[in-house]
Every structure is written in C-alpha cells, then in structure tokens.
Amino acid sequence: MFLPKVGAMDMVDIIRTKRDGGLLSTAQIRWVIDAYTHGGVAEEQMAALAMAIVLRGMERREIVDWTGAMIDSGVRMRWPGSVDKHSTGGVGDKITLPLGPLVAAHGVFVPQLSGRGLGHTGGTLDKLEAIAGWRAELSEAEMRAAPGGFVAAATADLAPADRRLYALRDVTGTVDSIPLIASSIMSKKIAEGTDGLVLDVKVGSGAFMKELADARELARTMVELGQDAGVRTCALITDMSTPLGRTVGNALEVREAVEVLAGGGPADVVELTLALAREMLALAGVDADPDAALRDGRAMDAWRAMIRHQGGDPDAPLPRARHTEDVVAERDGWVTGLDALEVGIASWRLGAGRARKEDPVQAGAGVEIHAPQGARVRRGDRLLTLHTDTPERFARAREVLHPHIGDTPPAPRALIEEQIG
C-alpha cells in the first residue's frame, strides 16, 4: 500500500496549477515525486503534469526542488575525489570510451553510470557490450574494486523516480523540456556521488538541442544544479550538426576509440577527448597534459585493465556485420553536408539502435564515413559504407541519407562552441 512521506494532496489541483502557469510549491513537488514513485499517482495524471511542464516551464526553484525530490527517491552513492563526464547524446559520440581511461591514467577515479541507446543516439553500454565478455551489471563492491574507474548500468535504487518518469516521457511526447531534461540528468549524476562533473552538451541536428540558445540554457541549468548540490560542475557546448568521427555504430565506434587510445584516430574525436579530459583533470586538481598519456601508452593500459575488470577481452576481435554496401559520390566536388540526424537514423535502421529499450541491437551494424563534411571527392568515390547483418535494411537506410556535394568547400566548423561554469 502507498504511504506518502508527506501529507496527501490533490493531484488534479497540482496539474491545474501548472497548466495555468502557476508555480508548484516545494511540498507539492516532493509529494508528486514520492507518490508517483510508490504508485500513488496514476500514469495518466503524471503524463498530464509532464505535458503542463513542457508547455509552461519551471522556474529555477521548482527545478531545484524537482531534482532534489528525484534524488531523494533512492540511494546516494559516494566516490570521494572522483570526476565524471556526461554527454547529452549524439551521433558517433564514442568519447566516453577513450576519455575514462585517459583521465584514470592520471590517478583520478572515474565512475560512470551510463545508459543504452534509444532512437538515433547511441548508448555507451551497447558499444562496450560489443567487446567479448564485457558486462555492464556490476555490484557496488565490483565498482569500488575497479582499476581507475568503470562504466556500468545504473542500479535500480539510484533515482528510481527518474527511471519511471523517463519511460513515461518517452511515450507521451514530453522529452523535449529543458527543466525535465536537466533534472533527469542531474538527479542521477548528483545521486551518483562524484566530486566533479563535466557536461558535454550537444547542439545541432543530431542533438536534442537544435539551437545554440537552447543548448546554452540547458547547460547553464545543469551547471547551476550541480554547483548548488556541491558538485564542481562545468559544461562544454559542442557541435553535433555532423557526425563525430568516422564511425556510427557499436563495434565500429569501439574500434575507433581504441585507435584514439593508441595515439591515432580522427582529429575531431581526439580534440574533444582531450578538451574534456583537461576539464576533468582541472576539476580534480591535477595539473597535467592528457595528450602525453595517449602518446606514451598509459591511457591504453588503463583501458585494458578496465575492460578486463568487467569481464571483457581487450584482445578479442570485434564483431563485424555480415553485409556491407557503399554509398558513392555522384559528382566531383566537396562534401558540404553530412547531416548527423540522417546518419544516426540510417545507423538505427541498419540495426545499431533500438526503438524500445527492450529491443536488441546488432553489434556490427552502423555507418562508416569515408568522406566527412569538408572532404574533396570525385565521382564514384566512396562516401559511406553501410554495415548490417540483415541486408533488407539497406534500402530504408539509404532513403534517409542525403550527403550534399558542392562546388566549394564548406566553412570550417567550431567543434567546441562555448564553455559554461
């Protein structure tokens, strides 16, 4: 039986208050989150309130209260001296894979509770599960015994209110709300218990935030939530108008991450990995140039140790799709447009992503980029290679891909737009 921690309230009155543009009190917010977590608020009522928040927004005090109530719905962990990083999600965003070992190579513990992909954005756990034997489910004892850090699935008792509300928002069209996005991310990260947090807030066609002003507002909201909770927090706003790196898909991205750890890899992946590493090391009070750890092998050693700790074999061959198909240039020129959202959807349709959380993914599926935006190509050159185990998926993937080739090179893009905090 549901026993609320605070006095019973009228959920319909709370919905009406927000629907009409009013402010929810601290007591109302805490009651709603507690009651919903324990089954005392109907799904349709919570969906109505979420939609009212999408349409009417929240003031800062409400966001702080909402985030705090979700944190208090579960346990809090504690990792003294640690630093974490969170990305709001993008296409080809494999940065977590080389970044954690790179920072850990400097003696900083990096605990990362991560998630799976949904729709066109990839999930870190799906990528790592392409490695033979690697497992995402860890006990707290296994987490604390990790050599330098870990990437694991969040436990069910960490911000359970967010787990339930996120699933509801996903099926009710209420994902696109800065207060709800910020509180969802930060409730889990604050409950995780790190001392420092660097946020990678994506902006562009392949991101949740399509416009810089929205990305800036989200970044500022999350930085304020973190700092108010005593977590040293900063954010980089980074471009997601075109895919990051040369691969999109689980095993494909692991392969590229290992190239970065070996001192190679695409320039944009290396640039962003180093930029985020510098911020994380600064928050941890470590004065070091992370580039050296990529060149001298320390980051690779940390990667191998972390993979082994979670049952993975860093030497095992990565899965490869059984079928491939090329997309070629139809004319000479410069690649002036390779849209991140298009490539992300294509990868999803090839089997690298899922429409529902319980859907399986193909480890080897995805898109390999031979000519990124800005590349010079000739007619017949390979632009992309599509990978899948199920070749009937090729047609639907190709439908969404529209790489544009122009007569002049595009203007250079800034990978890092702004820093906040």
Catalytic residues: 86, 162, 169, 184, 188
**Rounded to whole angstroms, how far apart are CA atoms 270 and 387?**
24
Count the neighbouring beta carbons within 10 Å of the beta carbon of residue 349. 22
CA distances from 296 to 118, 261, 270, 300, 317 (A): 36, 10, 15, 9, 24
- Residue 29 CA to residue 184 CA, distance in Å, equals 14
Q: How far apart are the first and last CA of the chain?
A: 44
Q: 338 near 243, Cβ under 8 Å?
A: yes
Amino acid found at 123: G
Q: What is the token pair recorded at 415?
A: 């990978």
CB-based contacts of 251: which residues, under 8 Å, 6+ apart? 127, 130, 318, 319, 320, 363, 364, 366
Question: Between β-strands 366-369 and 404-406, what pairing exists: parallel, antiparallel or unpaired?
Answer: unpaired
Q: How far apart are CA 377 and CA 374, in angstroms?
A: 9
C-alpha angle 315-367-136 in degrees, rounded to nearest 5: 45
- Residue 272 carries which side chain, given as an amino acid letter? L
Instruction: Give every CB contact of residue 326 below 8 A, 6+ residues apart in sequence.
Output: 382, 383, 384, 385, 386
DSSP state of 118: B
